[in-house]
Amino acid sequence: MTQSTYALEVHDISKTYATVRAVDNLSFEVHKGEIFGLLGPNGAGKTTSIRMILDIIKPDAGQISVLGGPMTEATKSRIGYLPEERGLYEDMTLLGTLLFLGQLKDLTRQTARARAEAYLRELELWDARDLKIEALSRGMNQKAQFVAATMHEPDLIIVDEPFSGLDPVNARIIKNLLYRMRDRGAAIMMSTHQMHQVEEMCQRILLIDHGSRVLYGPLDEIRRQFASNAVEVDLRGKLGHVPGVERLVSRNGGYRLLLQDGVQPEQLLRTLVNMPEITVERFERVETSLDEIFVRVVGRKVANEEGTA
Amino acid sequence: MRKIWLIATTTYRRRIRSGMFLFLTFGLPVLMVIAGAVPFIRARGSDLPAVGYVDQTGRLATVTQVPVEDATLTLTAYPDIGAAQTAFQQGEIAGYLVIPDGYFQGQPAAFYAEEEPGGKLQVALIAFMRRAMLPDEPAWILDRLAGPSNLTYVARDSGEEITAGPAVAVRFAVPAVLALVFAIAVFTGAGQMGSAMVREKEQRSMEMIITSLAPRELVAGKVLGMTLLSLTQVGVWAIGGGIAFVLAFSSVVDVQTLSIPWEALTWGLLLGMPGYFLYAVLASGLGVMAGDSQQAQQLAGVLGMLGMAPLYLMGLLINAPDGPLAVGLTMFPLTAPMIGLFRMALVEVPTWQLIASLAILTASLVGSIWLVAHIFRAAMLMYGQALRPRQLLQALREV
């Protein structure tokens, strides 16, 4: 029997609160050893979906397979979860908190202690181990929560806004830890509004809005799908009329060329190279940022709804 | 079970270190012991001053010295009250006892002094009276006369002991005190449980914890931890109260002669523990349903009042301890421990009733854990909001 390459499979899950359809027939998969981005505007149904995956709330319909089967108590020890609404016991010490949460994830006390010590040293929290949680700074607290969620080396890690409250240095530390876990084979599902982090870290994404899937698949493909038909060029010489170009804008010493429909950048490059009066020094396809895609997709939906209304 | 225990011990350790808990737990028994020790110290610690007496009956023997424990009371006989008063005013004696003419007809003797005599002097004055009435009898007879009615009565047919005197008081008092302790434990415990749960909700720690164990394990662990905490508190109070009782009454009652009513204690434990658990589970459910600490306190307060409810029905129960109301309340899980114990203080409760009560109580406890675990699932993530009835129903449907 071949083992599934999926760490998480979600099929047609739905959840309704009173009259609000929080999640509507949502399906997606997360592969082992990938960082998967779960995106969506506020209130899109991300947290509800995560809570259904973690069996905190039950879906009204649909199936969820976590690490090869339905969620069981044994599966819970193979999952790490950093919720958006997070908090630790403020009257406990940092080390005591990690020992407690580690043991709840089925680590022995000795293993929990060894792991906690290693993580605290790596994240430069060792000197704060005997401080109460209430005495920690926001950044320290955030790092402590991350350790608590991952110290048992889970196979599926779900992190909700993992970088909020972190300065760039600490964000880099957490990012490296996530990479290390991914390289170990863990599947990581990351929900965040920080699009640059998604662009940097995620191989595939799911964008949901109003509980439904809007975009889903490899990030590269999605970006290609939304790529504007434009290129930027730096060149020597003066550029006049170029066949296949609809509009030409001079920009920072170079040009941005908006291509006519059906014209491929490769064709344009050939045309430019064959023009004797100019020498092409840089030719680059203009990529659409994820941020732009997000705004375009979600914004379009909002505009459509307003139009319908 | 390991995770339940981990939650319980962590809850216990966190709470037992709080200043308020330590103050409440140890402050109260210290006050009780101090209150109990006052008469003890007065009885034990005071020396016996010289006193006088006036025998107006003319029938008492002249006694000038009475040995009491490790001291001796020195007395001077005066012919009349005027002479005794003069000696008192001149500081020769600390007080004087007047035995009136009608003493043997029931008129009381009176002791005149600046202040109330200590317990030791009171005992010595009574010993003097015995000696003055029976000057020729040996000391052991006089000692026995001090408490000749401390009898044990035995039923002729069954051979069972029917206790009397202070033992009767203990037989009644122990179940009644246990019932009262239960009521206090429920009242304070329900409040603590409710506020502990809402604090947990406010600290937003549940979402992470609940992905590590089942909601029923979290409920059971929390309740177990808080129960251990309450047991610690009540245990410290009981020890403090026991010491205070022994100190306060040791000069009046021979404590060693009192037998322990094991049956009441056993049933107290058997009904009291699941009964307390039941209240704690329900209080945790109310706590997690509440939107904030104030609301949790109010809801837990209502539950605590329910725990005290049998106290309001005492009049009816005392009049008919075996009546339908009493039996019914013995079977109702929320009143079973208190009513069962109160009835045991008043009558012989049939064993089948106690066993049935225990069975219903245990089944209710299991059911309540199931119920509250579902409420937990729905309510624990509603930060700063109370669970509405519609949401409660939806939570219960999601089994």
Structure-token pair, residue B30: 């210290």
Quote the Cα angle for B299-B337-B235, to 5°: 85
Residues A231/A265, Cβ–Cβ less than 8 Å: yes
Nearest Cα residue in chain A from B3: A104
| Test the B interface: residue of A56, A78, A88, A97 with most B CBs within 10 Å | A56
Chain A residues in contact with B392 (beta carbon < 8 A): none
**pLDDT number for residue A187:** 94
Q: Taking a contact as any Cβ pair under 8 Å apart, which residues of chain A between 139 and 158 contact chain B?
A: 145, 148-149
**pLDDT number for residue A107:** 92
Q: Give backbone dihedrals phi and psi of B369, rounded to 5 degrees, phi first.
A: -65, -40
Residue B272: CB atoms within 10 Å: 24
Which amino acid is residue A234, in one-letter code? D
Q: How confident is the model at residue A218 (pLDDT cuts 50, 70, 90)?
A: very high
A54 touches chain B (CB under 8 A): yes
CB contact (8 A) between residue B205 and residue A89? yes
Q: How many helices (H) and strands (E) does chain B have?
A: 15, 7
Chain B closest CA to A102's CA: distance in Å? 10
- Give yes or no for residue A109 having a pLDDT over 90: yes
Residues A160/A84, Cβ–Cβ less than 8 Å: yes
What is the ipTM score, two decimals?
0.75
Q: How many helices (H) and strands (E) does chain A have?
A: 10, 13
Chain A residues in contact with B210 (beta carbon < 8 A): 56
Q: How confident is the model at residue A88 (pLDDT cuts 50, 70, 90)?
A: confident
Parts of chain B with a pLDDT under 70: 36-46, 148-174, 248-261, 291, 380-387, 391-392, 394-399
CB contact (8 A) between residue B381 and residue A91? no
Distance separating alpha carbons of residues A267 and A261, to the nearest angstrom: 12
Chain B closest CA to A17's CA: distance in Å? 9
pLDDT digits (tens, 9 = 90+) for A147-198: 999 999 999 999 998 888 788 888 899 999 999 999 999 999 999 888 888 8
**pLDDT number for residue B87:** 93
Buried b / exposed e over B158-196, threshold 16 CB at 10 Å, is eeeeebebbbeebbbbbbbbbbbbbbbbbbbbbbbbbbb
Distance separating alpha carbons of residues A231 and A252, to the nearest angstrom: 14
Say how many residues make up chain A. Answer: 309
CA distances in angstroms from B218 to B277, B369, B376, listed in the order given: 14, 10, 9
B393 touches chain A (CB under 8 A): no
Distance separating alpha carbons of residues B174 and B347, to the nearest angstrom: 13
Chain A residues in contact with B390 (beta carbon < 8 A): 18
**pLDDT number for residue A53:** 92
**pLDDT number for residue A1:** 47
| Test the B interface: residue of A94, A104, A159 with most B CBs within 10 Å | A104
CB contact (8 A) between residue B398 and residue A58? yes
Q: How confident is the model at residue A309 (pLDDT cuts 50, 70, 90)?
A: very low
Alpha-helix runs per DSSP H in chain A:
46-53, 73-76, 94-104, 109-122, 138-150, 168-183, 195-201, 219-225, 265-273, 290-308
B319 touches chain A (CB under 8 A): no
Give the one of B14, B18, B381 whose C-beta lies nearest to A56's C-beta.
B381
Q: Strand, coil or helix: what is A32?
A: coil
Q: How confident is the model at residue A57 (pLDDT cuts 50, 70, 90)?
A: confident
B156 touches chain A (CB under 8 A): no
**pLDDT number for residue B309:** 74
Residues B273/B231, Cβ–Cβ less than 8 Å: no
Q: How confident is the model at residue A216 (pLDDT cuts 50, 70, 90)?
A: very high
In chain B, where are the structural domains located? 2-38+165-391, 51-145
Give the one of A57, A92, A145 whose C-beta lies nearest to B377's C-beta.
A57
Distance separating alpha carbons of residues A94 and A7, to the nearest angstrom: 31
